[in-house]
Amino acid sequence: MAAPEELLPIFPLSNVVLFPGVSTPLHLFEPRYRQMARDVLAGERCIGMAVVRPEFVDEMSGDPPVFPIGCIGRVAEGQRLPDGRYSIVVRGETRFKLIEEPPRPAERLYRCARVEHLDDPYADEEREQVERLRASITEDVGVLVRRTQPERAEGLRHELFAGVDDATFVNLLSNALALPVEDKQSLLEAETIPARFARLASVLRFQRAELDTDRAEGRGRLH
């Protein structure tokens, strides 16, 4: 692994998991995050997006513990609003591992941490397996959308994914699907692209089985 970087501003959230290659809009209104946005926009424009551990979400006003794996987001767009709030768009660049979070000076309101960049390896010999997983994921997403959001099914066609590379495909779906934040964090923590495919396929199989069970029980109640 690469040597630890310099301090990276950390933005802890309870319900947003950023993935490499995915863009997310953020609205910053707390004084500490206004200060962070000001400093980031004047500097390297990078923020470490990290998810707060679920058992500590009631401590968001403080410095709750976060998962050690997050994603570095580069601010692609940033605007300071007249009332002092900021609207920014961050685009995920690379995963990171949090190494340490040193005490901060009194003048800095937001958190910073030393981090290591993490790669997303994708070995050539695993591409055939990923191809099968990608086909399974595409089918399961189609089934789930048709059953739960039929109004969106017409616009969901396999052609939408044509030409999209595997890493972008799995990261976009991991971000876009309405999954519990714990599942999304688990997907982000997958150490390789094939591992992320395997985890996403498993999550979707479980959701599809759960939906099948609910439908079967529903039919039973009607008789």
% of the chain at pLDDT higher than 70? 87
Whether the per-residue pLDDT at 206 is higher than 70: the answer is yes
Torsion from C-alpha of 58, 63, 68, 71, nearest 10 degrees? 90
Indicate the domain borders of the chain.
8-118, 124-222
pLDDT computed for residue 167 by the predictor: 96
User: What is the SS3 assignment for 190?
Assistant: coil
b/e burial code for range 161-190 (CB count within 10 A of at least 16 → b): beeeebbebbbebbbebebebebbbbbbbb
pLDDT tens string 23-46: 999 999 999 999 999 999 999 999
pLDDT computed for residue 65 by the predictor: 96
pLDDT computed for residue 222 by the predictor: 36
Label residue 21 left, alpha or beta by phi (over 0 means left) and psi (-120 to 50 means alpha). left
pLDDT computed for residue 163 by the predictor: 81
pLDDT tens string 73-119: 999 999 999 999 999 999 999 999 999 999 999 999 999 999 999 99
CATH architecture of 124-222: Up-down Bundle (1.20)
Whether the per-residue pLDDT at 215 is higher than 70: the answer is no
Q: What's the Cα-to-Cα distance from 44 to each of 2, 95, 103, rounded to whole Å?
A: 19, 17, 21
b/e burial code for range 123-134 (CB count within 10 A of at least 16 → b): eeebeeebeebb
Residue 55 confidence class, pLDDT cut points 50, 70, 90:
very high
Parallel, antiparallel, or unpaired for β 111-118 and 46-51? unpaired
Q: What's the Cα-to-Cα distance from 194 to each of 76, 148, 166, rounded to whole Å?
A: 28, 27, 9
Whether the per-residue pLDDT at 128 is higher than 50: the answer is yes
Q: What's the Cα-to-Cα distance from 104 to each of 9, 38, 50, 63, 113, rounded to whole Å?
A: 11, 17, 18, 12, 10
pLDDT tens string 161-202: 778 999 999 999 999 898 999 999 999 999 999 999 999 999
Whether the per-residue pLDDT at 156 is higher than 60: the answer is no
CATH architecture of 8-118: Roll (2.30)
pLDDT computed for residue 220 by the predictor: 42
pLDDT computed for residue 213 by the predictor: 75
pLDDT computed for residue 212 by the predictor: 75
